[in-house]
Structure 1
């Protein structure tokens, strides 16, 4: 009996040692993947290799107040021990797209420490309005075990095709404002049920300058992205939904950042831009446009890289967008013959906003450029969709008639900053709570109609505007 037990113990130890060795040789797609910068002919696939299958669990309790900051969080603990932590690991990634018999691959790409183990590849010469299956393979070494992930997306339609659009957009998400300590945010689960063609995240994807931890080093800043991307609600959403991402102050450095801003601890604005590009790979400028068939064109604006200091006296040279971006916007809008022109801005252009704010076009601090922008956009019969504000609203500028739609924050726990009962004349809709905005362009009797719908975090319809051009 003792001999049998010894043999059993020996083989158990041997098996466990073998299993541990195999586990140590694996890589994982714990932070998922994103299909971004979609057009009718190209798409970029981004991912990151991780050393373990799941992120650290959420163990800290939270304050029972807005933002839900963590209680007794040790800002100096090793990142590997933090809630939501997912350390990266070196290895190789291959990305493959397939549509029917057509197949195209990136080949094996290296994931390295210098780029936080992120990998991306841009596929070109794709076909318009075509569904592609996405397959990712990851391995630690040339002959290592292969881990897989999969999803799909559909390219945008060709320029003059009559194709409907189903899009969702949201803003302002802080890890500790989560709705579910296991899954993350209800909003992403609710958006997934609508099966959008495209998602636009209008900035503040993470908050460097909020605790748990304060991201005052590049390592902590990267951790914020890892923890956010590892939420199952986000990971599953991005498997089947391509994304355009905009940045704002909190996912670049800190509140109200501009090119001359001081460091946030050891984190510099150069660090912030580098980390942004690691997670949001762009081929060119941070401002870009997307044509969606015959009747819709989208513009995605940049609001941090070219702006003046908030404290600079207002005037013709004070800017948020910068001259190069402004000229690009004028030219591309004038060249567009789309029925609906939709502007996605990280910050408000119409407002109204709090009187104490001074960092966007609805504030007196940027009134000169704000007046110019509202006249330009209204003259083009454009519609503005903005991020940044922690409440949901629809507003109409009294002077220009320009309409603006604020999606609201991703969680009810993040909603604040405006008195719930202070509905001003320009407000068509006001709600100080979380949720998202849905945008649909459909054909009714062969004519394009645009619907913009506010939802709560659970996906309940709250308010809808029907726009016919």
Structure 2
């Protein structure tokens, strides 16, 4: 971008930022509302109070896909002038959760720059399998104008309820690889059309280590969350679909990050972990399971916080999970009486993966011992499957030794798809497609009352491209 373009761009951004101040003291929910960690009796409400009604428009030209990084991006420019920037603002927020029979209110609470103007509240005392509306109100102070955002969700059924349930899952979404210049990502709008009961995002929600900017400090890292969360397709989706988010390497520092990783510029692993916890609040530990009626339980594992160094020698002590999480995973899966059990893994378990390039997941030689244990254990549990993130292509793989099935969603846009030759079908592959999209999982009882699970891969336009239907084993 030349000096003349920068001048006119600066004038535009200046005028753009004057618009919201026609209402004195107004605040906004530009980063939307998330309804997270929903159970049969509780939910976590998240939002962020913002200074402007819209993010700073995208004005940089981009490289060609994949990874459409901005051209001539100045990493040292003021963060509030960057494409997608959304400044936070001091103020207070009130929650009302209601349906025809009940209302739960949380009175005004302040947000501050200490936690990036984010807000989180755990709501208890909800009823199972019940629809609720969420009304958030924001204001600068008690004399300020009130802004509102509305959302909705349905709680999980209790563990003995027999109800059909469908959920979506996605992974890998780089802000600059958007495929709709107005809405952001087509996949989100098409997932919403399926009316999923909940959504699992398996990591790489943002990319600290890709340009536009490179997140070398806390301010730049937080910007990545502001920008991605301001896309209208994400705002609409997460306001109306309960979500469970898992972190992966790019969400926490850089490619293949571990707790032993050196800082990324001035951004440390602990800094990034703190940012994750303010942007994606949990109700408990980062490894957890969610029960959704009699026929489905989903395990969400943590793949970054507790892992060994990727370059350590493989053996019984080397682990992605760590001792506590590994023991929990084994005992909780074995004790569950859910008909279908699904491990949501931020990284592959079956693969195949790029053997010469990757050393950070259970399908790689670097974690061969724990990988073999995990595949054997999961395969020994009836009706148990893996849904994985981190790979930029869609696939269904069947482990040649154990028969364990793994479903890779693929990236959130076609422009982010890469990393595998589409003609390189391996013996493990039942399906292979090097494009973007998402996965939809549907659990139901057929006409003979046999519990059945259906895995459907969709493209970004919402067209089904592959389907696996599996009846439960007694």
> TM class, shorter-chain normalised?
over 0.9
Question: Which of the residues 378, 400, 403 maps onto 1:401?
Answer: 403
**1:218 alignment partner in structure 2:** 218
SS in 2 for 1:467: strand
User: Cα offset for 1:183?
Assistant: 1.2
| Residue pair 2:20, 2:53 contacting (<8 A) in 1 also | no
Worse-matched range after superposition: 137-146 or 363-372: 137-146
User: Cα offset for 1:282?
Assistant: 1.1
| Residue pair 2:165, 2:197 contacting (<8 A) in 1 also | yes
**Separation in 1 of the partners of 2:359 and 2:76?**
33
User: Cα offset for 1:72?
Assistant: 1.1
**1:373 alignment partner in structure 2:** 374
| Residue pair 2:297, 2:341 contacting (<8 A) in 1 also | yes
**Separation in 1 of the partners of 2:283 and 2:457?**
32
User: Cα offset for 1:442?
Assistant: 1.5
Residues 88-109 of structure 1: CA deviation (Å, up to 9, x unaligned): 0010001110011310012111
Residues 60-88 of structure 1: CA deviation (Å, up to 9, x unaligned): 11111311111111111101110000000
**1:73 alignment partner in structure 2:** 73
Residues 395-452 of structure 1: CA deviation (Å, up to 9, x unaligned): 0001011100000000000000111100001000000010000000112122211000
**1:308 alignment partner in structure 2:** 308
**1:361 alignment partner in structure 2:** 362
Question: Which of the residues 393, 417, 427 maps onto 1:391?
Answer: 393
**2:438 alignment partner in structure 1:** 436
SS in 1 for 2:290: strand
User: Cα offset for 1:358?
Assistant: 0.4
**1:199 alignment partner in structure 2:** 199
**2:461 alignment partner in structure 1:** 458
- How much is the aligned-residue C-alpha RMSD, in angstroms? 1.2
User: Cα offset for 1:47?
Assistant: 0.3
User: Cα offset for 1:387?
Assistant: 0.3
User: Cα offset for 1:20?
Assistant: 7.5
| Residue pair 2:393, 2:417 contacting (<8 A) in 1 also | yes
**Separation in 2 of the partners of 1:163 and 1:82?**
46
Worse-matched range after superposition: 139-148 or 33-42: 139-148
Worse-matched range after superposition: 275-284 or 427-436: 275-284
Residues 234-275 of structure 1: CA deviation (Å, up to 9, x unaligned): 001112111000000001111111111100001011110000
State how 1:200-279 maps to structure 2 within 5 Å.
Answer: 200-279=200-279
| Residue pair 2:214, 2:220 contacting (<8 A) in 1 also | yes
User: Cα offset for 1:23?
Assistant: 2.6
SS in 2 for 1:442: strand
Structure exhibiting the larger radius of gyration computed from Cα positions: 1
When normalised by structure 2's length, the TM-score is: 0.94
SS in 2 for 1:189: helix
Moved over 3 A (4+): 18-22
**Separation in 1 of the partners of 2:316 and 2:354?**
23
State how 1:163-182 maps to structure 2 within 5 Å.
Answer: 163-182=163-182
| Residue pair 2:20, 2:26 contacting (<8 A) in 1 also | no
Consecutive unaligned residues of structure 2, counting only runs of 5 or more, are 1-17
**1:424 alignment partner in structure 2:** 426
**Separation in 1 of the partners of 2:450 and 2:146?**
49
**Separation in 1 of the partners of 2:65 and 2:453?**
37
Residues 358-409 of structure 1: CA deviation (Å, up to 9, x unaligned): 0000000000000000011111131000000000000000101110000000
| Residue pair 2:52, 2:87 contacting (<8 A) in 1 also | yes
When normalised by structure 1's length, the TM-score is: 0.95
Residues 320-377 of structure 1: CA deviation (Å, up to 9, x unaligned): 0001001001111111011100000000000000012100000000000000000111
